[in-house]
Chain A
């Protein structure tokens, strides 16, 4: 069965410093992996998506993530945090049961950015 674990429930960084949000997955197949961002009381916005092409995936707003099969990880990074990056981030793995597009969400990592 597929699962996803976000290793930190809360990460705090200073503006201008790097961001690292960690995600590990479990899958019997080659998974599709996603990162979504959610600002308070808003819907989820897709940041980036991995579907077995290049292992380093670039997303919007300067974020990128690297798929590492040997480590079963898909960590999200950004070289320099901006105040507007403060939000909750969800790592998501595709559920390969049947042919339906079911997604399995991590519990989220809340990113705080200090001035």
Chain B
């Protein structure tokens, strides 16, 4: 069966420090991968999605970037964190990029920027 991992589970970082969050998927090949951010009191906002290695689409201009160095690995990064980057970051995968396809979510990373 497929599983999705995210780490770290929680992270506290000072403003201006770099960030690297990792997401890996097991049990499937060539998944579509997504990064979402969930801020307090708001729904989920799609940040990035990827349909293949090295293929990244950005939904919202921001202080963050994403990379997909391997088929089942998706990394969210920042060179300098802002206070507004605090939130709950969720990685998800789907079999196809179709809008009807179910997305399966990882356990999330709680990021606090101080």
Residues of A within 8 A of B (CB): 32, 34, 36, 41-46, 49, 51, 90, 94-96, 99-103, 105-108
Show 13 A/B contacts (Cβ-Cβ < 8 Å), sorted by A.
A41-B88, A41-B108, A43-B107, A44-B44, A44-B92, A90-B43, A90-B44, A99-B98, A100-B49, A101-B32, A102-B46, A105-B43, A105-B44
**Binary interface encoding of chain B residues 80-111 relative to chain A, with 1 for a CB under 8 A from any of its CBs, else 0:** 00000000101010101111111111111010
Chain B residues lying within 8 Å of A106, measured Cβ to Cβ, are 43
Bound-complex Cα distance A103 to B51 (A): 15
Which residues of chain A have C-beta atoms less than 8 A from B61's C-beta?
none
Give the residue name and chain of the B residue nearest to A6 (CB): B43
Q: Hey, which chain B residues are within 8 Å of A94, CB to CB?
A: 99-100
* In the complex, chain A residues whose CB is within 8 Å of the CB of B88: 41
A100 touching B107 in the complex, CB below 8 Å, given contacts A43-B90, A44-B90, A105-B44: no
Closest residue of chain B to A100 (Cβ to Cβ) is: B97
Q: Judge if B26 is at the interface, Cβ distance under 8 Å.
A: no
Which 8 pairs between the two chains have the least Cβ-Cβ distance?
A94-B99, A105-B43, A43-B105, A44-B105, A105-B44, A32-B100, A43-B107, A107-B43
B interface with A by C-beta (< 8 Å): 6, 32, 34, 41-46, 49, 51, 57, 59, 88, 90, 92, 94, 96-108, 110
Interface centre among B6, B43, B96 (most CB of A within 10 A): B43
In the complex where A107-B41, A107-B42, A108-B43 touch, is A101 in contact with B108 (Cβ < 8 A)? no
Looking at the assembled complex, report how far the CB atom of A45 sits from the nearest CB atom of chain B, in whole angstroms.
7
CA–CA, A94 and B51, complex, Å: 17
Q: With the chains together, A44 CA to B93 CA distance in Å? A: 12
Residue B46 contacts which of A42, A49, A103 (CB distance < 8 angstroms)? A103
Q: Tell me the minimal C-beta distance from B38 to chain A in angstroms.
A: 8
Contact of B59 among A36, A42, A102, A105 (CB under 8 A): A102
Partner of B97, one of A51, A101, A107: A101
- A108 to B43: give the CA distance in the assembly, Å: 6
User: Are B108 and A95 in contact, with the CB atoms below 8 A?
Assistant: no
* Nearest opposing residue in chain B for A97, CB measure: B99
